[in-house]
Amino acid sequence: MKDNEQLVQLVDERDNPVGTMEKMEAHRHPALHRAVSVLVFNSSGDWLLHRRAAGKYHSACLWTNACCTHPWPGETHTDAARRRLQEEMDIAAEGELAHLFDFVYQAKVNDELTEYEYDRVFSLTSDEIPHPDPDEVDEWRYVTTDTLHQEIMQYPSHFTEWFKLIFKRSAGT
């Protein structure tokens, strides 16, 4: 593992770099840092979701978008999105990753950790079958927008905080 893989890029509210910090420290003492989230849709428009592995340091066993990560210092948002989609779901983002939007959020994810992220959201249309890393993903599925909306409304605690915000903005719900 490279030294910079455990660092996050600290940013201001406009995504201008202001320094770096060790990843866990940035979550223990919330510091605004970069993140990317990737939404994957199949050709029918269904959402690719995965349930985070039980061993994840936060938000374990919750459903979320195809992948997310923290760009390494000096790594572009797009390169980080492609890297993580390959690492986590074994999907090569050969198609165009579309930049959908950026947003800032803060959410307590357990008793000790808080996410405080400037999140850049991308989307990709792909019918490639995921082969997820079992250290990251317990299971995956495709789901329609209507079904996903119903599930989030009925069982909000089953989904990550960031994904609920992304879904609301992406699906206009």
* pLDDT of amino acid 1: 43
pTM: 0.93
Residues with a catalytic annotation lie at 68, 117
Question: 145-155 pLDDT, tens per residue?
Answer: 999 999 999 99
d(CA 82, CA 88): 10
* pLDDT of amino acid 5: 62
Q: Say which amino acid occupies 41.
A: F
Question: 55-111 pLDDT, tens per residue?
Answer: 888 888 999 999 999 999 999 999 999 999 999 999 998 768 999 999 999 999 888
Domain boundaries, the chain: 3-171
Asked if the model's pLDDT at residue 2 lies above 80, the reply is: no
| CATH homologous superfamily for the domain 3-171 | Nucleoside Triphosphate Pyrophosphohydrolase (3.90.79.10)
* Lowest-confidence segment of 16-25, 104-113, 129-138, 154-163 by average pLDDT: 104-113
Q: How many residues does the chain have?
A: 173
* pLDDT of amino acid 171: 82
Radius of gyration (Cα) for the chain, nearest Å?
Answer: 15
Q: How far is CA 27 from CA 2, 21, 121, 145, 167, in A?
A: 20, 10, 20, 31, 23
